[in-house]
Amino acid sequence: MPDLVEAAMRLEGAVKKYLDEDPELEAVMRRMEPLLKRIYDGDVPPQRVFESIASRHSEAFEKHDDLEEAFEALDEAYDAAHLKQIRDSVGSRFVEHLDEKWTRRDCPACGSRVWTVPKCLFELREYSGGALVIGGDMNLFAVVPVVCESCGYTHFFSATRAGLQKADADWPRLPARR
Ligand SMILES: [Zn+2]
């Protein structure tokens, strides 16, 4: 699996190779340049920006096999870089938990299958009638929001069930519906 910098250099090289014979690629190069710079600086700019460049110029990309392959390799390197960010922040256990348990990934609102994960856990607090209570016996529910990149529909996964946190309470189970 190539790393992001390597994949970006490969795509840049492939675009430059056809610049003379394919003037459309100049626009591609102009749009790509700031993003490539961010990648070379060690950043991970949004994957969707590259995707929108590729889809807007899809004919130019499809004309050249090595260009298309270089773009696909960048896409793969992006997936790997994003997965690493999730493993390094939320934790590898969460990635494995989703791999194992989350089988139906179509967004219930828009049908998309592209989801994003923030780089930290969040907490839901027990309702206390409008007063803000800090500490004490306040119940907290740690969650990982998983957000549809297209429409924003959000799933909350329990950090405890995902094995990120120790369970400190057994919740009563609602009897299965027969
Ligand atoms: Zn959606």
What is the total residue count of the chain?
178
CA of 117 to the centre of ligand 1 (A): 14
Place of tokens 């306040």: 138
Indicate the pLDDT class of residue 129, thresholds 50, 70 and 90: confident
Directed axis angle between helix 65-89 and helix 47-56, to 10°? 160
CA of 116 to the centre of ligand 1 (A): 11
Tell whether the model's pLDDT for residue 19 goes beyond 80: yes
Question: How much is the average pLDDT of 135-155?
Answer: 91
CA of 49 to the centre of ligand 1 (A): 18
Tell whether the model's pLDDT for residue 32 goes beyond 60: yes
CA of 148 to the centre of ligand 1 (A): 5
**CB-based neighbours (< 5 A) of ligand 1, an ion:** 107, 109-110, 112, 148, 150-151, 153
CA 9 to mean position of chain CA atoms: 22
CA of 88 to the centre of ligand 1 (A): 25
CA of 36 to the centre of ligand 1 (A): 28
What predicted TM-score, i.e. pTM, was given to this entire model? 0.85
Burial class (CB in 10 A: 0-12, 13-18, 19+), 42: exposed
